[in-house]
Amino acid sequence: MAGVSQLNQFPCKTLCLTPPPHQSKTSLPLTSIGAAPSRLANGQPKLSTRDLIWARPVFRVRVADDDEWGPEKEEPYGEGSSAVAVSGEEKSVELAKIAELKKALVDSFYGTDRGLKATSETRAEIVELITQLEAQNPNPAPTEALTLLNGKWILAYTSFSGLFPLLSRGTLPLVKVEEISQTIDSENFTVQNSVQFAGPLATTSISTNAKFEVRSPKRVQIKFEEGIIGTPQLTDSIVIPENVEFLGQKIDLTPFKGLITSVQDTASSVVKSISSQPPLKFPISNSNAQSWLLTTYLDEELRISRGDAGSVFVLLNEGSSLLSS
């Protein structure tokens, strides 16, 4: 009703088309208006277009003070497409900014050994770049875009201190961590965490299989079910140098080549026999073997996730060009 009362406040004039003064619309029948009507074949009067117009008065309402609002402006044709073009240009600028941030972030990982050797200054720089990327997240609800989560993701950086003893080789002398990865299957809601090791003669891996449940647009709950110790796979033969330098002196290794070769052959035969065995699997029945993961940035080639105690993980898709940058 308020809208009606406001509308009634506009000064209006009512324009109507009335019959000529010599005619009385209320006193004359329809057939007496204007000239004598023609007759149809059955004798009924035939109405002309003019008669019909006069028989139905037309009322028009307009605002009295047209100048108050000014002349009506017509929108130029194609203005909508111009707006779309501007929006597309802004989108291109945004994508370019994201690409620049991702490149800067990956470059900052150089020499950090996945975060193990990162200085406090480097960590601060990485945190700043991560924060900027999270603000530009093209998929703010990652669990609603599960297909993007599919595939193998390679760990490029982490602040999770629980991985540092593993990366430092303190528990596994002569063995280095080749790769840490996470493989997600969104159709079956499974996730596999894997660490691949490389030794002097063989490579092996330790993995955990888990199920995950979606708990929020960004968060998944992970429950570990089993662990797997992969069988060692034989690598190329060890290349023995002619000599080594020790305390400023060169030591000739030629006399030891036969002994080293004999040990290498024995070790190779052992590795070959072990490699023929299936992987060792063991169940994880601990009720506390659960974790959660919060994905704060996600696109086709980069993912940023946060875990317990605020630890951050930056992972690159297996096919991403950023892996080689």
pLDDT tens-place string over residues 88-134:
788 888 899 999 999 999 999 999 999 999 999 999 999 999 999 99
Predicted confidence (pLDDT) per residue in 146-196, tens digit: 999 999 999 999 999 888 777 776 555 567 889 999 999 999 999 999 999
Residue in 264, 206, 278 with CA at minimum distance from that of residue 235: 264
CATH class held by domain 84-230+279-324: mainly beta
Which runs of consecutive H residues, i.e. helices, occur in the chain? 2-8, 49-55, 79-108, 120-135, 146-149, 164-167, 257-275
Q: What is the mean pLDDT of the chain?
A: 75
> Looking at the whole model, is its pTM more than 0.75?
no
- Confidence grade of residue 303 (pLDDT, cut at 50, 70, 90): very high
Model pLDDT, residue 262: 67
Q: Residue 278 corresponds to which tokens in the numbers above?
A: 């299936």
**pLDDT at position 270:** 62
pLDDT greater at residue 128 or residue 83: 128
Q: Tell me what pLDDT residue 250 has.
A: 74
Tell me the pLDDT band of 50, cut-offs 50, 70 and 90: very low
pLDDT, tens digit, for every residue of 18-30? 444 444 444 444 4
Is the C-alpha dihedral spanning 223, 226, 227, 229 positive or negative? negative
* pLDDT at position 64 over 80: no
Q: With 70 as the cut, is the pLDDT of residue 216 above it? A: yes
| 299 within 8 A of 230, measured Cβ to Cβ | no
Judge contact between 126 and 118, C-beta under 8 A: yes
Residue 77: is its pLDDT beyond 50? no
Confidence of residue 240 (pLDDT cuts 50, 70, 90): low
Residue 209 has pLDDT above 70, yes or no: yes
Domain with CATH 2.40.128.280 in the chain: 84-230+279-324
Per-residue pLDDT tens over the stretch 246-273: 556 676 767 766 666 666 666 666 666 6
CA distance 145 to 154: 19
